[in-house]
Every structure is written in C-alpha cells, then in structure tokens.
Structure 1
Amino acid sequence: MPIRHLLLALVVVAIWGFNFVIIKWSVEALPPILAAALRFAAAAFPAILFVKPPKAPFWIVVSYGLCLGFLLYAFLNLALAWGMPAGLASLVLQTQAFFTMALAFPLLGDRPGKFQLMGAAIAFAGIAVIAFERLEGASLLPLAFTIFGAASWGMANVLTKKAGKVDALSFNVWGALAAPVPLLGLSLLTEGWPAIVEAMTHFTWADAGIIAFLAYVSTLLAGAIWSWLLGRHPTSVVAPFTLLVPITGLLSGYLILGETITLVEILGAAIVISGLGVTIAGSRKSLPRAAVD
C-alpha cells in the first residue's frame, strides 16, 4: 500500500475513533434510533441532488446502505444508549475485521495471505487483552449488539469490494439513502411517535452539530475514503487498519468522556499496533516495488 494511501487510512482511523464519543452524545440527546435516522437522512440530502448515482448494481448500493446505515447503527446506537462505554464499543466493533475476512473468502475469493493472518492474530490478541480489562463493567446485551453491528460492518466491507472501483463519494451518498426510512420506521415502532415529536421540538444547535459531524465527516468523508481504499486494495490489507480505531476511541473516551485507560489497555494497544505493522509490512513485501513507492 503506498504511503499516501496509508496516511488516508490513518485519517479514517482518527475520525472513526472520535466518532464513538459523538455517537454517545447523540444517543444521550436524542432517541438512539432516531439519531441514526437523522444522521443518514442528513448524509443523503441534499447530496443526492448534486452527486450522480454510482456505476454499481442497484442491489449492491442498497444492500451496502442497509448493512452500514440501518443494521450497524441500529445495533451500535442501542448498545451505547444501554450502557456500552464508547471506548469499549470502539474496541469490540473491530471484530468486523474477522467478519470481513471470513465473508470475503467465500463470497469474493479474497484469500488472506500469511502476513495478514499473522498480523490479525497479533492484533486481536491485543484486543483480547484490552477486552479482558474492560468487559467486567459491560452487560451482555449491549456487548452482543455491538458484535452484531460488527458483523453488519463486515458485510458492508464485502459489498464495497464487490462494487469495484466506483466513485467513493457517490457510493456512500446513495448508499446512505437506503438507511433513513427503515431507521425511522424502527424508531416509530420501538421509540414511539411522542418521543420523536418531543426530540424534534427541542432540537438544538448542539444537536444539529452532532448530526452534522456524524453525517458529513464520519459517514461521507471517512466513508468515501474507506470505500476508495477498499476499491483499490484487497480487503485483507485494508480491513486491519480498523484495528487502530480502538486506540483512538479509547483515547477519545478518556480525554472527553472521562473513561479510564489502564496500563493493561496501553499494553493491548501496543500489541494491536504491532499486529498492524506485520500486516502492512507483509502487504508491501508482496507487491512489486513500483506499486509501493
């Protein structure tokens, strides 16, 4: 992977790590499913008026939007609203790399190399160290919902890869269009019309800022960069970068929400970085020199 692509992946990691703090704020200010619906409505409108549909099969675009927008954030927002710490959520959600690699092999024939497998094993050993330290305070249902969200994200990654080299911004904008209606329907079903009216009646500029960050920075900007990278590199090379998200997520939770970071978690983070280093080094060795300069 060229250095400039690696730097782009790290930008996404930083945005998505901080994103968990913003999501935590959103589910405290608004009903959690409604917050997700507003996020993806803002991501889709008015952008679809100016961005052409992607040159990808319609079913892939819709399926991507449902996996990443509807399923992932329905599960994640509920998990955070029900007590999942933001830092821990950023950690557990990275099991998506397992789901991505597991799904990409039978569906795409994208076989991970030995360095990708070795790097993933090391990185997930680091995540296990952090999880062992953090799971004592988390209940089972929020944890399970976070893992369900991770599976949804893994499927979205596979769909992105299957779409090929499409315009990343267009793919994300039109994919986002598939999420608001089912999210709003789920909000009506589970949160109720009175709660939605109450939230929108007292909607503040601070709430608008939260939704704007989630829609335009985290969903469109970071999502477009991520889709662009997946369209140009094997999933087994790109997906492990998200193993760094728990580090930025834990740091954001510590600095902004006051969540604690222990020495054991720092050790686990160092192991995660080591695993990612093995994956990156292996992917560069497997490519011709001209491809990595």
Structure 2
Amino acid sequence: MSLTVRYAFNRDVSVRDRLLALLVAVLWGLNFPATEIALQHFPPMLLGALRWTLLAIPAVLFVPRPQVKLRWLLGTGIGIGLLQFAFLYLGMAAGMPSGLASLVLQASAPFTVLLAGFAFREKISRRQAIAIGVAVLGLAAIAIHQSQVAALLPVVLTLAGGLGWAIGNVCSREAKAPKPLHLTMWMAVVPPIPMFALSLITEGPHRIAGSFTTLTTWSAWESVFGLLYIVVAAALVGYGIWNTLLSRNPSSSVAPFSMLVPIIGVLSSWVAFGERVPLVEFIAGAAVILGVLYASRRPRLVAPDPEPALVVEAGSRPH
C-alpha cells in the first residue's frame, strides 16, 4: 500500500479538532442536568418545541439557507432535532436519571459508525474498531451497574434517541455544508411544528398554557435558565462545532468523541443533584476515555521503501 493511500485510509482528527470535540463533550455533558432542571417546569414535547423554535426564528430571519441538498437538511433536522430529543425528553420525563441518560444516549456513536458503514460504505480501521469496542464495553459496564435504578421503558426511549442522533450525524456528514453553522441553525426549522403537534396531542393545551402562566415563580425561572443553556450552549455552540467537525472528518473518527459526554454528564449530575458515582463507574469511564483517545489518535506514517538507486558503472551510460 503506498504512503498516500495508507494516509488517506488512516486519516484522523487533528489536535485542534480533538480539542474542539472535547469542548463539545463538556457542553453536551452539562446539557443533561440543565435538561432535568428545565423538565421540572416544561413538559417534554413542549420543551423540545421551545428549544428548536428559539433557534429557528433567528435562523429564518438572519441566516442564509445552507447550500446543501434538501434531503440532508431534513434528515439532519429529523434525526438530531426531532427523534433524538423527543425520545430523550420522554425518557427523562419517564424517570431516566440525567447521568444515566447521558450514558445511554451515547449509543449514538456505534450507531453512527454502523449506519455510515451500511449506507455509505465508510471504512473503519481495525484500530478504530477495537477502540470503539473498548469504549462500548466501558459504557456497557456503567449501564449494567446503573440499570438497577432505571425502569426498562426510559432506557429504551433514550436508546431510540441515540439512534435518532446517529441518523442526524450521518445526514450531517453527507450534507458537507460549506458553512456548518448555517446547517446547525437551519436544522432547527424542522422540529418545532411536529413537536408542538405532539405536545398538543400528548400533553394537552391546559398543561401547555400552565407552563407559561406560571413563569413568574422562581422554580420556573430556574427551568428557563436551563432552557437557555440548552439553546445557546448545547444547541447553537455545541452542534455548530459538531457539524463543522463532521464536515471535514470521517464519521468514524468524530463519533467516538460523543462517548465522552456521559463522563461529564454523570459527574455534573453528581454535583447538581447528588447522584452518586460508584468506583466501578469511574473505572469504566476511564475505559471510555482511553477508547475514544485511541480511536482518534493520529497513527504514525510509515515511509515508503526507497526506490533502488541507479548504479552507473564507469565507462558506461544508462539506457
């Protein structure tokens, strides 16, 4: 295999992009306690509708439509915006602890790699496969340990959210938006109407109206601050960086970083709500971190064999 082909096959995430991906992991990890606070006042479908509406309005008014095919814009909005957060918020409202939710949702990483491989024939190296396997084993160990505190339905709903996120990741990758922030803003146009409709059907107009008429209480304002963090930090900044990374890196190299999110999510939920983190989860979390770092490590390049020197004997000339 030539040096050029080998490098293209093993092309990985730069140091700068790895730092950006780590920043996204922190922003998204803190998103889970913020969501739990927001759900204390807003019902889940209404919260999702408000989240994306607050992004959709400035997108339509001030941001040019991204120069991507419509199917990838819709796919990104449906996957990341509608499916991920509809199922995640339903799962958390049904009793999924925020720390455990941050863990289970990261099933999106292997889902993303599998979907990209199945639908678009993206290749992953043996190193990446092993590293992702180690990280998944770490996630599985944490899930098994915490499964005693979560009913089956919230776990299944959150897993479905992870699958939605993976669908959105693959669509974002295929969109190859020249300006990823525009895609981040415009994907917010897709979820609000379906989520408002689901809110009316499942939560009812009285519950929706009650969420707005009681906004003067302090507990409601805590939820409003949680909503603002979800919109600005997790959605606008987080997905803006994430879509940028997906636009210039293979999905199999970027997706594993999302498995760092539960580490931040579990720790921040412990600080915010006193959710205890046993030693076994710290050990499993270390396995997740090592797996992600190994999956994203830039491999050493192997120099090609030198061309044999041309020896010219004295008194002769090359032919």
Alignment TM class, shorter chain as reference: over 0.9
Q: Which amino acid aligns with 1:105?
A: G
Contact 2:38 2:222 (8 Å CA) reproduced = no
Normalising by structure 1, report the TM-score: 0.95
Q: Which of 250, 260, 267 is residue 266 of structure 2 equivalent to?
A: 250
Amino acid at match of 1:93: L
Tell me which residue corresponds to 1:12. 24
Q: Which has the larger radius of gyration?
A: 2
Aligned to 2:4: none
Counterpart in the other structure of 1:259: 275
Runs of 5+ unmatched residues, structure 1 = none
1:223-248 deviations in Å (ceiling 9; x for gaps): 01000000111000000001111100
Work out whether residues 165 and 232 of structure 1, in 8 Å CA contact, stay in contact via their aligned partners in 2: no
Runs of 4+ in structure 1 displaced over 4 angstroms?
286-289
SS at match of 2:40: helix
Deviation at 1:166, TM superposition (A): 2.6
| Number of corresponding residues | 287
Partner of 1:53: 65
Confirm or deny: 8 A CA contact 2:41 2:223 kept in the other structure.
yes
Aligned-CA RMSD value:
1.4
Q: Write the letter of the residue equivalent to 1:285.
A: P
One-letter amino acid matched to 2:156: A
**Quick one: distance in 2 between partners of 1:265 and 1:50?**
44
Aligned to 1:81: 93
Matching of residues 123-162 of structure 1 within 5 Å:
123-162=135-174
Q: Which has the larger share of helix? A: 1
Flag structure 2 segments of 5+ consecutive residues without an equivalent.
Answer: 1-12, 304-319
Q: Distance in 1 between matches of 2:250 and 2:137?
A: 22
Determine the structure 2 residue equivalent to 1:200.
Answer: 212
- Between the aligned residues of both structures, percent identity stands at 37
Amino acid at match of 2:100: L
After the TM superposition, which residues 89-108 of structure 1 pair with which residues of structure 2 at under 5 Å, given as runs?
A: 89-108=101-120
**Aligned to 1:256, what secondary structure does the other structure show?**
helix
- Structure 2 residue 67 is matched with structure 1 residue 67: no
CA distance in 1, matches of 2:269, 2:102: 10
Tell me if structure 2 keeps the 8 A contact 1:120–1:275.
yes
Deviations 1:40-86 (A, max 9, x none): 00011123211101000112112211111111111000111111010
| Alpha-carbon distance in 1 for matches of 2:224, 2:282 | 34
- Counterpart in 1 of 2:288? 272
Give the deviation of 1:271 after TM superposition. 0.8
After superposition, what is the alpha-carbon deviation per residue over 1:176-226, rounded to whole angstroms, capped at 9, x for unaligned?
110110000000000001100111111254333222211121111100100
